[in-house]
Amino acid sequence: MPTLTQLQYIVAVHRTGHFGRAAAECEVSQPTLSAQVAKAEEQLGVVLFDRRTTPVTPTEPGRRLIAAAQDVLAAHARLMDAADSTAGLTGSFTLGVIPTLAPTVLPWFLRAFTEACPKVELTVLERTTDGIVAALLDRQMDAGLVATPLGEPGLDRRVVFYDPFYVYAHPESSILARDEVALADIERDDLWLLEDGHCFRNQVVHLCGANHRALLGNVRFEAGSFDTLRGLIDQVGGFTLVPETYAQTLPRDVRLAQVRPFADPVPIREVSLVAQRRHWKGAILDALADTLRVHAPRCLPREAGTGNVLPVDLDD
């Protein structure tokens, strides 16, 4: 039967769609990896991959066997982690964080978590929601810090806080004349958005009905970060929506002059730690979730029922 190493090579080829990239990922030469995959195919009596396609794709019988190989590797990882767990919270752990949370949330808890769990080898990757979900389902990541719900039945969530929305506007924007902004006050032609791929953009589109790029004369532009949007708005006008996690990082004079809260019902996003059901690193997941809850700013509500809110997600 194929060895664990051969199964790792097979899964790497499936994940990357390329023998060369799989070899680089596994830190072996391509001829070595190719030979081991071919040997496994001979042992199983099945051709696993169609090598004529680009990227390399599994054959129909190969799909079933690759899924079984993933299960075997996951079971082996569970066995090793169970052995490690006798020494307490220990082992490797990979966490994905979406870009609209990474710059603001990571500083809250990283130091506290590493001090509380010094034997956990934590790897943090900044990825989009789609990338995190795909990596979780493919068992290439242990958990993700994302806006929820995701509508993915294979993943469980541990809610850590709720993130209210605010309006950030040019100093001369008429929307700043209001102490609070209603959703009906949003003029979509002046609304700037993050680029495609950001779940926060999708939430704003879902909330405001905006599905186009903001215009500046004959220029269409979408930003990859709130800081880029802020600089653009300060120069040319308009406004955008930002979460409180970002608004709290702004200087006090900027918040007073250019940030306005929403009137009830306040749009709000749920932020959770998500992972596969029955994850064998549940103790580390619980420790991460607890650290996030304890060290999040007190202004962020911990329960959905806090105030008159309008939860925003993509499953409505």
Outline where DSSP puts E strands in 33-131.
49-50, 57-58, 91-97, 120-126
Q: What's residue 90's pLDDT?
A: 82
Q: How far apart are CA 243 and CA 100, in angstroms?
A: 9
What does each C-alpha distance from 237 to 178, 192, 258, 277 come to in angstroms? 17, 10, 11, 46
Mean pLDDT of all residues in 39-49: 93
Phi and psi angles of residue 13, each rounded to the nearest 5 degrees, phi first: -65, -40
Q: What's residue 315's pLDDT?
A: 43
Last residue within a domain, chosen from 38, 67, 84: 84
Number of separate domains in the chain: 3
CATH of the domain at 33: 1.10.10.10
Distance, CA of 304 to chain centre: 21
Could you tell me if residue 166 is inside a domain? yes
Could you tell me if residue 186 is inside a domain? yes
Q: How far apart are CA 308 and CA 204, in angstroms?
A: 19
Q: 63 pLDDT exceeds 50?
A: yes
Question: Looking at the structure, do residues 12 and 136 belong to the same domain, yes or no?
Answer: no
Burial category of 228 from C-beta neighbours within 10 Å (exposed 0-12, middle 13-18, buried 19 and up):
middle
Question: Looking at the structure, do residues 189 and 259 belong to the same domain, yes or no?
Answer: yes
Question: Looking at the structure, do residues 106 and 253 belong to the same domain, yes or no?
Answer: no
Q: 73 pLDDT exceeds 90?
A: no
Could you tell me if residue 312 is inside a domain? no
Could you tell me if residue 316 is inside a domain? no
Q: What is the pLDDT of residues 168-195, one digit of tens each?
A: 999 998 889 989 988 887 777 778 877 6
Which has the minimum average pLDDT: 23-37, 159-173, 176-190?
A: 176-190
Residue scoring higher pLDDT (198 or 233): 233
Last residue within a domain, chosen from 84, 112, 133: 84
Question: Looking at the structure, do residues 95 and 122 belong to the same domain, yes or no?
Answer: yes
CATH of the domain at 263: 3.40.190.10
Question: Looking at the structure, do residues 64 and 99 belong to the same domain, yes or no?
Answer: no
Could you tell me if residue 246 is inside a domain? yes
Enclosing domain of residue 193: 162-267
Average pLDDT of the chain to the nearest whole number: 83
Question: Looking at the structure, do residues 247 and 210 belong to the same domain, yes or no?
Answer: yes
Could you tell me if residue 188 is inside a domain? yes
Could you tell me if residue 197 is inside a domain? yes
Last residue within a domain, chosen from 57, 84, 111: 84
Question: Looking at the structure, do residues 187 and 257 belong to the same domain, yes or no?
Answer: yes
Question: Looking at the structure, do residues 198 and 176 belong to the same domain, yes or no?
Answer: yes
DSSP percent split of the chain into helix, strand, coil, nearest 5: 45, 20, 30
Helices (H) and strands (E) in the chain, counts: 11, 12
Q: How far apart are CA 143 and CA 197, in angstroms?
A: 19
Asked if 314 and 206 count as a contact pair (C-beta separation under 8 A), the reply is yes
Could you tell me if residue 311 is inside a domain? no
Question: Looking at the structure, do residues 168 and 259 belong to the same domain, yes or no?
Answer: yes
Residue scoring higher pLDDT (302 or 140): 140
Question: Looking at the structure, do residues 216 and 293 belong to the same domain, yes or no?
Answer: no
Q: What is the pLDDT of residues 77-124, one digit of tens each?
A: 766 666 555 456 788 899 999 988 998 899 888 999 998 889 899 999
126 C-beta neighbours (distance < 10 Å), count = 14
Question: Looking at the structure, do residues 9 and 75 belong to the same domain, yes or no?
Answer: yes
Cis status of the peptide bond prior to 149, with omega within 30 of 0:
yes
Q: 311 pLDDT exceeds 60?
A: no
Which has the minimum average pLDDT: 87-101, 121-135, 197-211?
A: 197-211
Residue scoring higher pLDDT (2 or 280): 2
Outline where DSSP puts E strands in the chain.
49-50, 57-58, 91-97, 120-126, 143-148, 155-169, 215-216, 219-220, 239-243, 259-261, 266-276, 309-311
Question: Looking at the structure, do residues 64 and 76 belong to the same domain, yes or no?
Answer: yes
Q: How far apart are CA 90 and CA 81, in angstroms?
A: 8
Q: 157 pLDDT exceeds 70?
A: yes
